[in-house]
Structure 1
Amino acid sequence: MDFPPYLASMPMHAITEIHGEPGLRERFRLEIRAFDPDARARLTAALDLAAELHCDDRRVREPYLNHLLRVAIRMMHHYQVRDVDVIVAGLLHDAVEDHPAELAGPAWSATGDDPASTAVGDPTSAALAVLATRFGPRVARLVAAVTNPTYDPDRDRHVQYREHVAASLDREPWARVIKVSDFTDNGVGVIHTVGPKVYSSATKYRPLVPVLRELIARPDTPLAPAVKAHIFSQLDLAEERFSAILDEPVNVT
């Protein structure tokens, strides 16, 4: 497929709409040219694993892999991230949450047959162990920090989500970077969503804006001041879009 020479400067949702997954893959390839061969190999391996795990997943109108590609590209292009572990974790940030058994594979099956094993019925630990083996313990730790736990069915799910994000990211500065890129794709990108997910996404993510704003503003969040300013402007934009969705006046006839 032929892509325009300005693909490297196109907004990612424009690439998504015009060129789809192939265009985002090409943009990813262009971004990782700045890395050394070993780093490119790790990043490509992480993308291949993400594509394998999420091959049947859809995100409303698009393959789920598009979301993961945008999260990783945003960190490289807009956040100036050159830490390979962080980008790898960005590509795989939903792997353990969405596909723990597939990721754990035989490692989980072997322990899952043991009645004394803590892995029975819960392959999450085994999936994280596989990530640690394949990409290093730091990648596994970062993915764990952005993986949602099992929620208490008797408590509000959105409140628990917000509490988990605040607590988990408090101790993992680089995980904040992954989460805010994920949030930007979901929150600012809410206008690219259709159907009931528009309202449900706005309801879920709106209360997270002040939490992320405070976390990104912290001195130990490893981003340049200009990058933080860009993120704050994106959080402002997300607030505007959530308000337009959730605060629209009700017509009285």
Structure 2
Amino acid sequence: MEFPAYLATMPMHAITEIHGEPGLLARFRLEVEAFDEPARARLTEALDLAADLHRDDRRVREPYLNHLLRVAIRLMHHYQVRDVDVIVAALLHDAVEDHPAELAALAPDGSAAGTDVTAAALVALSARFGARVARLVGAVTNPAFDPERDRNAQYRDHVAASLESEPWARVIKVSDFTDNGVGVIHTVGPKVARSAAKYRPLVPVFRDLIARPDTPLSPPVKQHIFAQLDLAEERFSAILDQPDPARRP
């Protein structure tokens, strides 16, 4: 398939709308050309695993892999991340949460004996991509939530706690948040309001985490992220703060 020469400069949601998954895959390959051959091989292996695990998953109107590609491309292009472990973890950031049994089945024989399925999935990731990748994915994996408590509040508590001591996991999570938050206008149906209500209280949490001196991003990249958080907040407000048409002045 032919893609325009300016694919490398197109906004990712524009690539998604016009070219779909093939366009995002082409953009990913353009980004990984900046890496050496061993790094490209590792990134390709992680992408292949993500594509296999999420092959039947969808996000409303699109294959789930599109989301994972955008999160990883944003790290490389907008955040200027060259740490291969971080990009591998970004591609696989939902693998343990969404497909723990499939991952656990890939663990070396006996290495996950006596562990629960989530722990076994992390063992499999560690064996294949290293302990650091598994630790980063673990930091952005949601735990089982208490059904008696508000789920969104538990999610916010988990994000703040799990990212406290994992600076690189913050970078992965804010790319994920940007795709979900700024990209909320590309969602349709009831999920729009649900997503806005879930994510709006996280904006100040991410502002604090990204502003910290130990978050390993350059000042210009941090400013870019702050602008994206501003945009997400504007979109959440537009969705959630509309006047009720049933109420008369």
TM range (shorter): over 0.9
Shift of 1:155: 0.7
Tell me what 2:6 maps to: 6
Q: Deviation per CA, 1:148-192, whole angstroms, max 9, x where unpaired?
A: 000011111111100000000000000000000000000000000
Shift of 1:8: 0.4
Look up the equivalent residue of 2:153 and give its one-letter code.
V
Q: Does the 8 Å contact 1:108/1:126 carry over to 2?
A: no
Secondary structure class of the residue paired with 2:33 = helix
Shift of 1:200: 0.6
Matched, 1:37 2:37: yes
Look up the equivalent residue of 2:139 and give its one-letter code.
A
Tell me what 1:22 maps to: 22
Tell me what 1:220 maps to: 214
Tell me what 1:136 maps to: 130
Look up the equivalent residue of 2:135 and give its one-letter code.
R
Give matches, 1:119-134, under 5 Å: 119=116, 123-134=117-128
Aligned equivalents of 2:189 and 2:107: distance in 1? 39
Aligned equivalents of 1:108 and 1:190: distance in 2? 39
Tell me what 2:51 maps to: 51
Q: Deviation per CA, 1:81-104, whole angstroms, max 9, x where unpaired?
A: 000000000000000000000111
Q: TM-score, normalised by structure 1?
A: 0.95
Secondary structure class of the residue paired with 1:56 = coil
Q: Does the 8 Å contact 2:106/2:124 carry over to 1?
A: no
Tell me what 2:239 maps to: 245
Q: Does the 8 Å contact 1:101/1:108 carry over to 2?
A: no
Q: TM-score, normalised by structure 2?
A: 0.96
Q: Deviation per CA, 1:90-121, whole angstroms, max 9, x where unpaired?
A: 00000000000011116499689x7xx242xx
1:161 to 135, 155, 160: 155
Tell me what 1:102 maps to: 102
Look up the equivalent residue of 2:93 and give its one-letter code.
H
Q: Deviation per CA, 1:49-73, whole angstroms, max 9, x where unpaired?
A: 0000000000000000000000000
Look up the equivalent residue of 2:90 and give its one-letter code.
G
Aligned equivalents of 2:25 and 2:17: distance in 1? 14
Structure 2 alignment gaps of length 5 or more = none
Q: Does the 8 Å contact 2:108/2:124 carry over to 1?
A: no
Matched, 1:201 2:156: no
Aligned equivalents of 1:158 and 1:244: distance in 2? 20
Aligned equivalents of 2:33 and 2:107: distance in 1? 34
Matched, 1:236 2:234: no
Name the CA shift for 1:154/1:219 in 2 (closer, same or farther; >3 Å): same
Aligned equivalents of 2:111 and 2:92: distance in 1? 23
Tell me what 1:181 maps to: 175
CA RMSD in angstroms, aligned pairs only: 1.4
Shift of 1:230: 0.3
Secondary structure class of the residue paired with 2:5 = coil
Tell me what 1:86 maps to: 86
The count of residues paired between Structure 1 and Structure 2 equals 247
Look up the equivalent residue of 1:126 and give its one-letter code.
A
Aligned equivalents of 1:57 and 1:109: distance in 2? 28
Aligned equivalents of 2:103 and 2:9: distance in 1? 34
Secondary structure class of the residue paired with 2:120 = helix
Give matches, 1:107-122, under 5 Å: 107=107, 117-119=114-116
Aligned equivalents of 2:106 and 2:235: distance in 1? 44
Matched, 1:60 2:82: no
Aligned equivalents of 1:229 and 1:249: distance in 2? 32
